Amino acid sequence: MDVIRNRRLLKELKAFKKNPPSNFKILHANNIHRWIVEMTCANNTIYQGEKYKLEVRFSESYPTEAPEVVFIKPAPINPHIYSNGHICISILSIEWTPALTTEALLVSILSMMSDCKKKKRPQGDEDYSRRAGPSPRGTKWDFHDGNV
């Protein structure tokens, strides 16, 4: 499995560096299993021009399992992003498929933020952020609100 994962990650990293998606750049990927990516928010959104850093961690089960993606503090204020940087988006769990790429995942996060109409934290942010560990793995997300 390591050979498959490493081959896939090297291919994705090379493609990302050669032709990065709009609004993204890799800041650090010396370890192919952990990337630090900078995201510049889209124009004509409530986050216009704001920049955030994301940490992308690839487990031994990648690409069968989605990578862990968290915002490095300070996390943006968004109804789907907890103050500890955890992101509640279905593509990171129930909608992940090995056919998706890290690029597609990051673009989905940017799109989620671009669709947001009001900056606010998710309900229960303080409690969740206090009790959650550094990894969002194992969190049972409730994907019910597509109109934020």
Q: What's residue 64's pLDDT?
A: 93
Q: Return the CATH fold of 2-121.
A: Ubiquitin Conjugating Enzyme (3.10.110)
Q: Which pLDDT belongs to residue 148?
A: 42
Catalytic residue, from 54, 70, 88, 116: name it.
88
In this prediction, residues 93-102 reach a mean pLDDT of 93
Give the start-to-end residue ranges of the domains of the chain. Answer: 2-121
pLDDT, one tens digit per residue, over 27-54 is 999 899 999 999 999 999 999 999 999 9
pLDDT for res 137: 78
Report pLDDT for 28: 93
Residue range 89-96: mean pLDDT, rounded: 91
Kindly indicate the confidence band of residue 61, based on its pLDDT and cuts at 50, 70 and 90: very high
Confidence at residue 146, expressed as pLDDT on a 0 to 100 scale: 52
Q: How far apart are the C-alpha atoms of 24 and 69, rounded to whole Å?
A: 14
What is the pTM assigned to this prediction? 0.90
Cα angle 27, 4, 86 (rounded to 5 degrees) comes to 45
Section 133-147 average pLDDT? 68
Stretch 117-123: mean pLDDT: 95
Asked if 41 is an active-site residue, the reply is no
pLDDT of residue 93: 87
State the number of CA atoms in the 13 A half-sphere of 75 facing the CB: 23
How much is the pLDDT for 147? 46
Pick from 66, 92, 72, 98: nearest CA to 84:
72
